[in-house]
Amino acid sequence: MRSGNRIGRWLAAALLALGVVVAPGVAAAVDLEPGDTPYIGSKEGYGGTGLFPIWSNGSPTGDPDYWAYCIEQPVAAMTGLVGEVDDLDGYLGDNYFADPEVQGKVFWVLAHSYPELSLQEFGEAIGVPGISRNDAIEATQYAIWRYTDLTFDASWPFESADSEAAYWYLVNGANANPGLTYDDLEVTAAIAAPGSAQSADSLVGPFVVNTNQPTVSVTVDPAITVTDASGTPVDTDAVADGQELYLDLRGTTAEGEATVQVTAAGTSSTGKIVSVPTVPGTTPTAEDHAQTIILVTPSTTRTTAEASVSWTALPVPVIGTSLVDAADSDRVLPFDGGVVVDTVTYENLTPGVEYTVTGELMHQSDGSGSGITGSTTFTPDAASGSVDVEFTVPTGFAGESLVAFERLFEGADVSGEPVAVHEDIDDEAQTVTVEEAPVPAIGTSLVDAADGDRVLPFDGGVVVDTVAFENLTPGVEYTVTGELMYQSDGSGSGIVGSVTFIPDAASGSVEVEFTVPAGFAGESLVAFERLFEGTDTTGDPVAVHEDIDDEAQTVTVEDAPAPVPELPSTGFGVAGGAVPTTILLTAVGIAMVLLNRRWNASSALAHPDARRKVI
């Protein structure tokens, strides 16, 4: 038992001290554990009582992390040095605080006083709104000494009625309560991150909160809505022990990470004691130590814990294509066009959601669009699969290489941004080649219209050039023009002909007639032909056959017969019975001509192709 004289001497000394007011700092402090060496600052409050600021890192830098009250009234206090944290079993004093029942009373006082409560909270609790900080400190310190160094209520020299009212609130409350244990003062807050892989566009979780407090608060960095398992937002300022939390990432696609922090009011350091040496740097002992103090956590201090999570990006839809000729599945299309099919493979689509694929065939030569388009709308029943898009290639693309460019849209609206694109002008799997168009060609055979041979009488006639053609477009109008050329020098004869026609097949023939007048006896004439599309023959022909040495294009005009010479007169008169020489020669010439023609006729019967000149 402590003597009354010792108490009186302490009270007299206490009245001589002055206090300095400093507001407790706001911090998320690290719990102090046995063996830690915090720094003890100068006492604050009225002269006879006070509150010690404590810095957990051993240096008085910034605001204090904790505060402490004295639990050994008669022992001299030491400040401006470091003490050593210990649990209750390491208490070096010999007063009533060693009694667990007294410890419970002191713990109750600490938990219901300042600075464990804010001044406002404390004032409201005791019915003294606006109580001063020094009055709150004085009341609390007297209440603690009431149990650690006395067994009765002393006549404390209260500085104010507010202080006295606060004292009786604390003592009466502690007396009425069986007391608290250290476990009651402990503050726990923990959060466990999800144990499975997470991805975007989902509820990421669960995060599991554990605490011994009624509720804790939760924050997320970066800010993300916190929900329950059904996606319903939760009150993040009132999260209970065991509650499962989720981050609402629905509608997102990118990868990311976040940190979830749980925060509880207070720390587990309240109620721990600090043994203080009498000489800085020495170890306090039961025989030699300064005033032992007990830690209290300020109302603004928080216990925090955090857990981080990362998530992968939502799998992005991708497409690939394979373009083939619908007729034979190769990548070569006939010159006059056809149907091609692009098989579009897809991955990472959402089953049950409608999509549309649109495509256009592009000129590989310059990357420009051909105007040939196709599309299909579908609803996949799996994330991966394929659909076909058809393109109809009309005539007019002969010799071109066409590349399918495809775009995938969600829904039927293709005016927005596609969810996937496959556009590679060099992709062979997307490319078909249209064959070169067959080149129109012509060949000719020129004959005498009268007898089908290639020899024309000296005085002219009609020749027919049969023009054979290939690779024309059925149903399209063409014109063949021709001229008979002198084989001797390749010059034109001025003898021309033409015909306009519409073929019903790619190959066939037409005839062009030429009328050869007199005056070409002895000449060889060669037909030069040109084929034009349409009736306009002023442009470039689509086919030409002009070979001056081609026998099949050549007819020969016979030489003209030689003229009959006149014979001189004999001088014989008709009357005298003499025949004039000119008459005689004329008769002989006629006879010879008739004989020659008879011979030619006979020879022609035996040799139809043979011709003989008239002598």
Q: What is the 3-state secondary structure (H, E, C) of 228-297?
A: CCCCCECCCCCECCCCEEEEECCCCCCCEEEEEEEEEECCCCCCCEEECCCCCCCCCCCCCCCCCEEEEC
Average pLDDT score over residue span 188-205? 95
| CA–CA gap between residue 185 and residue 108 (Å, rounded) | 9
126 DSSP 8-state letter:
H
| CA–CA gap between residue 360 and residue 367 (Å, rounded) | 11
CB 357 within 8 A of CB 319: yes
Answer yes or no: is 191 within a domain: no
Is there a single domain that holds both residue 468 and residue 581?
no
What average pLDDT does the structure give for the chain?
Answer: 89
Answer yes or no: is 261 within a domain: no
312 DSSP 8-state letter:
B
Is there a single domain that holds both residue 399 and residue 537?
no
CA nearest to 66, candidates 25, 105, 34: 25
- pLDDT greater than 60 at residue 512: yes
At 69, is the pLDDT very low, low, confident or very high (cuts 50, 70, 90)?
very high
Is there a single domain that holds both residue 486 and residue 425?
no
Average pLDDT score over residue span 284-297? 96
CB 90 within 8 A of CB 56: no
CB 392 within 8 A of CB 432: no
Average pLDDT score over residue span 52-77? 96
Instruction: Answer yes or no: pTM beyond 0.75.
Output: no
| CA–CA gap between residue 299 and residue 116 (Å, rounded) | 5
At 297, is the pLDDT very low, low, confident or very high (cuts 50, 70, 90)?
very high
Is there a single domain that holds both residue 470 and residue 540?
yes
- pLDDT greater than 90 at residue 287: yes
Lowest mean pLDDT among 67-81, 88-102, 499-513, 590-604: 590-604
At 21, is the pLDDT very low, low, confident or very high (cuts 50, 70, 90)?
very low
For the record, the structure tokens of 41 come out as: 């600052």
Average pLDDT score over residue span 386-413? 96
Counting every residue, how long is the chain?
A: 615
Residue holding tokens 């590989």? 364
Is there a single domain that holds both residue 142 and residue 11?
yes
Name the residue with higher pLDDT: 398 or 613: 398
Answer yes or no: is 199 within a domain: no
Average pLDDT score over residue span 107-123? 97
Average pLDDT score over residue span 244-260? 96
Average pLDDT score over residue span 22-38? 69
Parallel, antiparallel, or unpaired for β 401-410 and 355-363?
antiparallel
Average pLDDT score over residue span 592-605? 43
CA distances from 187 to 140, 256, 301, 305, 403 (A): 21, 32, 11, 12, 69
**pLDDT for residue 572:** 46
At 379, is the pLDDT very low, low, confident or very high (cuts 50, 70, 90)?
very high
H or E stretch covering 11? helix 4-14
Is there a single domain that holds both residue 418 and residue 536?
no
Average pLDDT score over residue span 514-525? 96
CA distances from 116 to 69, 127, 531 (A): 12, 17, 110
Main-chain phi, psi angles of 526, to 5 degrees: -115, 130
**pLDDT for residue 22:** 29
**pLDDT for residue 29:** 60
Of 406, 434, 462, the domain-final residue: 434
Evaluate the omega torsion of the peptide bond into residue 60 and state whether it is cis, within 30 degrees of 0. Answer: no
At 16, is the pLDDT very low, low, confident or very high (cuts 50, 70, 90)?
very low
**pLDDT for residue 18:** 27
At 615, is the pLDDT very low, low, confident or very high (cuts 50, 70, 90)?
very low
| CA–CA gap between residue 112 and residue 412 (Å, rounded) | 67
Of 511, 526, 557, the domain-final residue: 557
Is there a single domain that holds both residue 167 and residue 22?
yes
Q: Give percent above pLDDT 90 in the chain.
A: 83
Domain housing 512 = 441-557
Is there a single domain that holds both residue 345 and residue 421?
yes
- pLDDT greater than 60 at residue 150: yes
Name the residue with higher pLDDT: 12 or 83: 83
H or E stretch covering 13? helix 4-14
| CA–CA gap between residue 149 and residue 9 (Å, rounded) | 14
Q: Give percent above pLDDT 70 in the chain.
A: 87
Is there a single domain that holds both residue 372 and residue 332?
yes
Burial (0-12, 13-18, 19+ Cβ within 10 Å), 336: middle
For residue 257, give every residue at least 6 positions away whose Cβ sits within 8 Å of its Cβ, in sequence order, or none: 308, 309, 310, 311
| Strand, coil or helix: 136 | helix
Is there a single domain that holds both residue 111 and residue 172?
yes
Q: What is the 3-state secondary structure (H, E, C) of 427-484?
A: CHHHEEEECCCCCCEEEEEEEECCCCCCEECCCCEEEEEEEEEECCCCCCCEEEEEEE
**pLDDT for residue 576:** 46
Is there a single domain that holds both residue 297 and residue 366?
no
Task: Say how many C-beta atoms besides its own lie within 10 A of residue 390's C-beta.
Answer: 13
- Give the domain CATH number at 526: 2.60.40.3930
| CA–CA gap between residue 110 and residue 118 (Å, rounded) | 12
Answer yes or no: is 581 within a domain: yes
Express each pLDDT in 308-350 by its tens digit: 999 999 888 999 999 999 999 999 999 999 999 999 999 999 9
**pLDDT for residue 149:** 97
At 588, is the pLDDT very low, low, confident or very high (cuts 50, 70, 90)?
very low
Task: Say how many C-beta atoms besides its own lie within 10 A of residue 488's C-beta.
Answer: 12
At 368, is the pLDDT very low, low, confident or very high (cuts 50, 70, 90)?
very high
Number of domains within the chain = 4
Answer yes or no: is 253 within a domain: no
Lowest mean pLDDT among 149-158, 455-464, 465-474, 598-607: 598-607
**pLDDT for residue 106:** 98
**pLDDT for residue 199:** 93
Of 379, 403, 434, the domain-final residue: 434
Name the residue with higher pLDDT: 339 or 12: 339
Is there a single domain that holds both residue 520 and residue 420?
no
Answer yes or no: is 311 within a domain: no
At 28, is the pLDDT very low, low, confident or very high (cuts 50, 70, 90)?
low
- pLDDT greater than 80 at residue 600: no
| CA–CA gap between residue 208 and residue 601 (Å, rounded) | 126
**pLDDT for residue 227:** 98
Average pLDDT score over residue span 529-533? 96
Answer yes or no: is 214 within a domain: no
